[in-house]
């Protein structure tokens, strides 16, 4: 069973969105489980202090390394990566999600305030992972987003495993546009090819649309894709963007 342990000052934030839909069903089926470890009881003194002012001065508070380490050391590692959610970390992406889905689970430390004392990051070999180039108020939402991306890749969680392989980023491209019923909505139709029943043409249209969309919106991804694929200029589908 894949085990996600969240070290947090706000255990009441969990399971939150991790407790609905396919992740909740998978948890009931025993594919994965989660626990929270409240950082507060590891605090120091009568007031169970978990933070202190930054050495060198400046704004805000910093989480103490002794408190963080006591919480971390209370957990069995069991070969699980120890992650510190941090805007300075390696950017999270689908490849990392795949890598972590092959692990026995995750230990996720959710920061607060100005973050965590550097010495515990080093001393416990924490892997810093970022959800993007923006600053959240705490690591809880970041840890939940990361866990959701990982757990939905575990065998038996997503209803249709094929759909996982065709999604954005799995192919190196953003996903093609999707259409469903009704066939016409507010004067907008559905591309004829999608109604043709011709699976080869549909696959071509989807690939060309995905290429055109990626080229326009994410030139960085498109450049990486071009290096590993024999690129033909997108012929159809690009008129939508």
Q: Which residues bind ligand SAH (CB under 6 A)?
A: 85-88, 110-112, 114-116, 130-132, 134-136, 138-139, 142
Nearer to ligand SAH, 57 or 134 (CB): 134
Provide, rounded to whole angstroms, the least separation between the CB of residue 135 and ligand SAH: 5
Beta carbon of residue 90, minimum distance to ligand SAH (angstroms, whole number): 10
Which is closer to ligand SAH, CB of 82 or CB of 131?
131
Residue 83 bridge partners (DSSP) = 108, 127
Which of residues 38 and 114 has its CB atom nearest to ligand SAH in the complex?
Answer: 114
> Closest distance between ligand SAH and the C-beta of residue 113, in Å?
6
The distance of closest approach from Cβ of residue 125 to ligand SAH in the complex, given in angstroms and rounded to an integer, is: 17
Q: Which residue is nearest to ligand SAH (CB)?
A: 111
C-beta closer to ligand SAH: residue 132 or 182: 132
- By the 8 A CB rule, do 137 and 10 touch? no
Question: In angstroms, what is the minimal distance from the CB of 85 to ligand SAH?
Answer: 4
Nearer to ligand SAH, 70 or 207 (CB): 70
| In the complex, minimum distance from the CB of residue 81 to ligand SAH, in angstroms, rounded to a whole number | 15
Nearer to ligand SAH, 65 or 115 (CB): 115
- Please report how close the Cβ of residue 27 comes to ligand SAH at its closest, in angstroms: 23
Toward ligand SAH, which CB reaches closer, 67 or 213? 67
What is the full DSSP assignment across the chain? Answer: -EEEEEEES-GGG-SGGGGSHHHHHHHHTTSEEEEEEESGGG-BTTTTB-EEPPTT--SS-EE-HHHHHHHHHTS--TT--EEEEEEEEEEP-HHHHHHHHTSSEEEEE---TT-B-HHHHHHTTPEEEESSSS--S-SHHHHHHHHHHHHTTSTTTSS-HHHHHTSTTTSSSPPPP---SSSSBTTB---GGGGS--HHHHHHHHHHHHHHHHHHH-HHHHHHHHHHS------SSGGG-
- Calpha distance 67→106 (Å, rounded): 20
Alpha-carbon dihedral sign for residues 207, 210, 216, 219:
negative
């Amino acid at each position: 069973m894949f085990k996600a342990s969240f070290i947090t000052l706000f255990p009441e934030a969990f399971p939150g969105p991790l407790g609905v839909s396919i992740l909740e069903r998978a948890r009931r089926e025993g594919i994965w489980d989660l626990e929270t470890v409240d950082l507060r009881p590891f605090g120091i003194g009568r007031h169970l202090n978990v933070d202190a002012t930054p050495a060198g001065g400046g704004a805000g508070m910093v989480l103490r390394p002794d408190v963080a380490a006591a919480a971390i050391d209370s957990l069995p590692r069991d070969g699980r990566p120890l992650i510190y959610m941090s805007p300075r970390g390696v950017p999270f992406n689908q490849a990392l999600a795949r890598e972590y889905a092959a692990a026995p689970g995750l230990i996720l430390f959710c920061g607060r305030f100005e973050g965590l004392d550097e010495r515990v990051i080093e001393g416990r070999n924490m892997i810093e992972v970022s959800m993007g180039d923006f600053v959240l108020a705490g690591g809880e939402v970041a840890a939940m987003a990361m866990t959701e991306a990982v757990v939905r890749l575990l065998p038996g969680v997503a209803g249709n495993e094929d759909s996982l392989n065709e999604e954005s980023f799995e192919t190196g491209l953003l996903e093609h546009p999707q259409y469903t019923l009704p066939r016409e909505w507010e004067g907008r139709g559905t591309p004829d090819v999608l109604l043709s029943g011709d699976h080869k043409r549909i696959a071509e249209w989807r690939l060309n649309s995905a290429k055109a969309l990626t080229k326009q919106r994410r030139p960085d991804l498109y450049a990486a894709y071009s290096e590993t694929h024999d690129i033909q200029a997108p012929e159809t589908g690009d008129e939508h963007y």
